[in-house]
Chains A and B, each alone.
Chain A
Amino acid sequence: MRIAIVFLAATLSGAWAQDTKMPVPLEKLALDKLAEKAVESVDVTLDGNLLQLAGKFLSEKDADQAKAKKLIAGLKSIMVRSFTFAKDGEYNLGDYPDLRDHVQLPAGWSHIVGVTSKRGGDNVDVYLKTGDGSQIGGLVVIAAEPKELTIVHITGTIRPEDLADLGGQFGIPKLDVPRKNSEQKKGKE
């Protein structure tokens, strides 16, 4: 019996680790060194418990906060690292293709957008993990701009319409993600 429990726990923890495993090799980015050079750095790491706690303190009255509250309800974790530099070239943007080559996508992840600039512009990659049904199981965004490097890793259930809200709310224009048929009908009515 004990062996079965230990085996089950190990399997579940393995599955959880696989689920929350970062497909981007952060250790290869030497983030501490980047943080030293950056004029501004953001380091946000929120696990399921903190997200649940944060949800209690997000106001229903504020439109952005209400959207965020709805969005984080299905999330397991959020990790954001962002570095802003004073001048172009303060971090080696040329290393970006190498970084992308090192991205190890576990099963279920897909590379949906890849923008590469050969003239020192923006490089953006978006990876999605397919979840249950039409839902998204995770999101990774890596954006390397001349003065800014951002890595986002979100795990948990994200509805496509939430992804649209993510692009449309919080003070920035909306992403064109198609809504479900039922919602489109509602909209027409």
Chain B
Amino acid sequence: MSRIEDALRKALRREEPPEGFAERVMARIQSRDREAAGVREAIGPWGGLLAAFREPHLRWAAVCAAAALLVGGLEYRSQRLERAEGERASRQVMLALRITGSKLRLAQDHVRRIDYAPVERKERL
């Protein structure tokens, strides 16, 4: 029992750190901070954002969002084009029907004039 106690006491005894241990630890911490700052400066703010996409699930989410934006944008553009084309076509339809109507009216006026002319002459007589 005393042998075990002796072994434990020997293992857990207080030991002084070697010379300059605290200085070396502090120096290493400072050097790591400097390295991290250097990397942050090199990649800039966007680099930091991009670094976030190293995560696979974030990367896939970004790809899906970009695809949805692209599809939505194309759909919106196509709808706008269709709307513009439809509105132009409807204006052309109205113009074409107005012209057609006016020319049919012109033909009708001439036919009426021919139809009513003998009647008017008879009435005068």
Residues of A at the B interface (CB closer than 8 Å) are: 42, 44, 46, 50-51, 53-58, 64-65, 68, 71-72, 78, 80, 82, 113, 115, 122, 124-126, 139, 141, 143, 145, 150, 152, 154, 163, 166-173, 175-176
Task: Evaluate contact between A124 and B103: CB separation under 8 angstroms.
Answer: yes
Q: Is the CB of B108 within 8 A of A170?
A: no
Measured between beta carbons, the chain A residues less than 8 angstroms from B87 are 57
Interface size on B, residues (CB 8 A): 26
Q: Which B residues, 65 to 113, have Cβ-Cβ distances below 8 Å to chain A?
A: 82-83, 85-87, 89-90, 92-108, 110-111
* B97 touching A71, Cβ below 8 Å: yes
Q: Give the residue of B89, B107, B111 whose beta carbon is less than 8 angstroms from that of A143.
A: B107
Task: Name the residue of chain A whose CB is nearest to the CB of B93.
Answer: A54
Q: Given known contacts A124-B110, A173-B105, is B100 in contact with A139 (CB within 8 Å)? A: yes
Contact of A78 among B86, B96, B101 (CB under 8 A): B96
B107: min CB distance to chain A, Å: 4
Q: A46-B96, A53-B85, A82-B99 are in contact. Are A65 and B90 (CB under 8 A)?
A: yes
A49 to chain B, nearest CB (A): 9
Quick one: which of A46, A78, A163 contacts B104, CB cutoff 8 A? Answer: A163
Give how many A-B residue pairs fall within 8 Å (CB-CB).
Answer: 104
Question: B100 — which chain A residues lie within 8 A by C-beta?
Answer: 80, 139, 141, 152, 154, 166
12 chain-A/chain-B pairs, Cβ below 8 angstroms:
A44-B92, A50-B85, A53-B82, A55-B90, A57-B89, A68-B94, A72-B93, A80-B95, A113-B111, A115-B107, A126-B107, A171-B98
**B102 CB contacts on chain A under 8 angstroms:** 172
Residues of B with Cβ closer than 8 Å to A? 82-83, 85-87, 89-90, 92-108, 110-111
Per DSSP, chain B at the interface is helix
* Measured CA separation A82–B95 after assembly (Å): 11
B94 touches A172 (CB 8 A): no
Cβ contact within 8 Å between A115 and B111: yes
B99 touches A54 (CB 8 A): no
Supply 19 further A-B pairs (C-beta < 8 A) apart from A57-B83, A58-B93, A68-B93: A44-B95, A46-B92, A53-B86, A54-B89, A55-B90, A58-B94, A64-B94, A65-B94, A80-B95, A80-B99, A113-B111, A143-B106, A145-B106, A150-B103, A152-B103, A167-B108, A169-B97, A172-B98, A176-B108
Q: Are A53 and B89 in contact (CB-based, < 8 A)?
A: yes
**Contact: A42 with B99, CB < 8 Å?**
yes
Q: Please determine whether B104 and A170 come into contact, CB atoms closer than 8 angstroms.
A: no
CA distance A139 to B100 in the complex (A): 10
Please measure, in the bound complex, the distance between the C-alpha atom of A51 and the C-alpha atom of B92, giving whole angstroms: 10
Are B101 and A170 closer than 8 Å at their CB atoms? yes
Complex Cα distance A71/B87, Å? 17
* Best-surrounded residue of B90, B93, B95, B97 (most CB of chain A within 10 A): B93
A175/B104 contact (C-beta < 8 A), A57-B86, A122-B110 known: yes
B-chain residues with CB within 8 Å of residue A175 when the two chains form the complex? 104-105, 108
